[in-house]
Structure 1
Amino acid sequence: MTNRAGPGYGRPGPGLDAVTSERGRLINLTYRLLGSLAEAEDAVQETYARWYAMSAQQQDAIESPGAWLTKVAGRICLNMLGSARARRETYVGEWIPEPLPEPGEWIDGRPGGTTVDPADRVTLDESVSMAFLVVLESMTPAERVAFVLHDVFRYSFAEVGEIVGRTPVACRQLAFSARRRVRASQPSAVPAAQQARIVRDFKQAWEARDIYALIGLLDPDATVIADGGGLVVRRQRVEGGEQVARACVDLADRAPSLTILERAVNGRPGLVAQQDGTTAAVLAFDIAGGRIKRIWAIFNPEKLRPWTTG
């Protein structure tokens, strides 16, 4: 693979530094490939395990540790995506990518700061928005790896081919097919400040149990998709703006002690529902045309552990 400028490439400084400095970049890559922070960390840990399993002589023979780590991490993710598809076919209910915790209220459409170790943070941009990750879930493993590596991380198709085991021409076609899916599903961009305002209005209407205000904020064809993982009994899907509004009011009536907080979810304005100080749900929003078109509600406690402990 082609050498790149930056930490970890061209063997700058001690070999150990060149290898460990790649961790943040690998977490960024593997989270986008897998849609799960826990699985991303497992993939990076396995990548480093394979590096350290080599002898010093084998390590010294590798011209670019960063390129080697990327290649191995990509192949590990490709294998994990294949097995993940089989697991998700037996998953109870809807499967939604694991939401990234980003503490801090949204003020004027900008997220607050965090105390997360920079080496373990996923860089927040459009490629980690929930809407984008959901589209990635519809792709084949090879499409997803080719698209993320080329279109998001700017690797050449020759380099992508080394990871997915296909020719550059085949990788180009994979990325083209994936790109078509993204373009077909992505609405026009909504300014962050406008998103934040709509989510805030939704929160206030929800707390007030104002069904008419909720209906006004929701697209007539709005949908709620809920991920409980079979561990929490919830309706998996609610369709229609009025039905979604009534479901929200019903939930507020059944859980009067529920606290709703404005929080960044995967770098976009979202909401966190807490019960007795424990995160019960994380909500991500898809907004277009000034209205909420889709709400992804994650209830699965296994996916909410970072939000509860953080």
Structure 2
Amino acid sequence: MDERDRLAAEFEQHRPRLRGVAYRMLGSLGEADDAVQEAWLRLNRTGGEDIDNLAAWLTTVVARICLNLLRSRENRREEPLDGVDGNAGSADPAEEAALADSVGVALLVVLDLLSPAERLAFVLHDLFAVPFDEIGTLLDKTPAAARQLASRARRRVKGAGTAPADHGRRREVVHAFLAASRGGDFGALVSLLDPNVVLRADAEAGPTRGPLVLRGALQVGKGAIAAGSARAAFSGPALVNGSPGVVLAPYGRLFLVLSFTVENGLITGIDIIAEPERLREVEVAVLGD
């Protein structure tokens, strides 16, 4: 094996981790793969002879590439995502959806709301155990400043405030609702709904581009089953304004929120939010155990 082949083989050993870093930084598998490929091109140009710690060097390069991409997004942050079928990259949508589910859709949503520096500090330190002195060098900040960035991000990820007394039961209901919707299990879905449940969707949430109201377990269940199969790929449980709910976030961008009212173990109300102005007012955090 010549030197170039050896370098390529070493790089392939690091590719999964680099892809994981880039995906959590960017929220798009296509962009993540592009960032990793750019890191390989840079390594190939250098030859790698003077690199003492290849893993650290590659992580730094990928992080810098991702940071530049995130900063370039800032000027176009208000651009809407054109529907859940739009593709933000060249990756296989099914693979992208599977990866989003494994990482956590809510986490991707919260990461997308962070500043580029906060996102980098949190992802590198909390998810990949990169020391703060290295993160500070990447950001041209002191280790203490990098630590503070990660701390602010961590508070956003976890949310704030005290959970309601029935938080655990609400979480169970939301998980069951999402599973029944994804699986098309109408009977299981209806069993979670109060007979007089009311679903309200804003003008951007429904298929008719107008506000929608459904009443009764059968009607709400039918609507949830119809929408669930199309939207399940990029949906996941989350804390929505402090209570368990569901977020839909294709390619890491918040597109729609389901907020639940749960009483006596049954869903009595569902508020579906998709209007950009309303979404900006929603607080999303990761739904923990």
Q: Which residue number corresponds to residue 273 of structure 2?
A: none
Identity level (%)? 29
Q: Secondary structure at the match of 2:77?
A: helix
Residue 25 in structure 1 maps to residue 17 in structure 2: yes
Q: Larger helix proportion, structure 1 or 2?
A: 2
1:194 to 1:206, Cα distance in 2 relative to 1, 3 A? closer
CA distance in 1, matches of 2:43, 2:19: 16
Q: Which residue number corresponds to residue 61 of structure 1?
A: 50
CA distance in 2, matches of 1:244, 1:299: 31
**Cα deviation, residue 157, structure 1:** 0.3
What does residue range 27-176 of structure 1 map to in structure 2 within 5 Å?
27-54=19-46, 56=47, 59-92=48-81, 128-176=103-151
1:235 to 1:246, Cα distance in 2 relative to 1, 3 A? farther
**Cα deviation, residue 167, structure 1:** 1.3
1:194 to 1:293, Cα distance in 2 relative to 1, 3 A? closer
CA distance in 2, matches of 1:17, 1:175: 33
1:176-211 per-position Cα deviation (integer Å, ceiling 9, x unaligned): 111111121697789x99876443434577757x8x
CA distance in 1, matches of 2:93, 2:104: 12
Q: Which residue number corresponds to residue 277 of structure 1?
A: none
* Residues 133 and 143, structure 2, Cα contact 8 Å, conserved in 1: yes
Residue 199 in structure 1 maps to residue 178 in structure 2: yes
CA distance in 1, matches of 2:250, 2:24: 18
Q: Secondary structure at the match of 1:63?
A: coil
Residue 286 in structure 1 maps to residue 265 in structure 2: no
CA distance in 2, matches of 1:30, 1:142: 14
1:174 to 1:245, Cα distance in 2 relative to 1, 3 A? farther
**Cα deviation, residue 298, structure 1:** 4.3
Q: Which runs of 5+ in 2 are unaligned?
A: 253-289
Q: Which runs of 5+ in 1 are unaligned?
A: 1-12, 104-115, 228-232, 253-257, 261-270, 274-279, 301-310
1:78 to 1:194, Cα distance in 2 relative to 1, 3 A? same
**Cα deviation, residue 19, structure 1:** 2.1
CA distance in 2, matches of 1:102, 1:152: 24
CA distance in 2, matches of 1:142, 1:25: 20
* Residues 97 and 130, structure 1, Cα contact 8 Å, conserved in 2: no
Q: Which residue number corresponds to residue 107 of structure 1?
A: none
* Residues 25 and 66, structure 2, Cα contact 8 Å, conserved in 1: yes
Q: Match for 1:27: what amino acid? A: R
* Residues 139 and 178, structure 1, Cα contact 8 Å, conserved in 2: yes
Q: Secondary structure at the match of 1:45?
A: helix
Q: How many equivalent residue pairs?
A: 236
Q: Match for 1:60: what amino acid? A: E
CA distance in 2, matches of 1:282, 1:77: 25
* Residues 19 and 33, structure 2, Cα contact 8 Å, conserved in 1: yes
1:95-132 per-position Cα deviation (integer Å, ceiling 9, x unaligned): 999799898xxxxxxxxxxxx8xxxx96975xx20111
* Residues 105 and 247, structure 2, Cα contact 8 Å, conserved in 1: no
Scaled by the length of structure 1, the TM-score of the pair is: 0.57
* Residues 226 and 297, structure 1, Cα contact 8 Å, conserved in 2: no
* Residues 122 and 154, structure 2, Cα contact 8 Å, conserved in 1: yes
* Residues 198 and 214, structure 2, Cα contact 8 Å, conserved in 1: yes
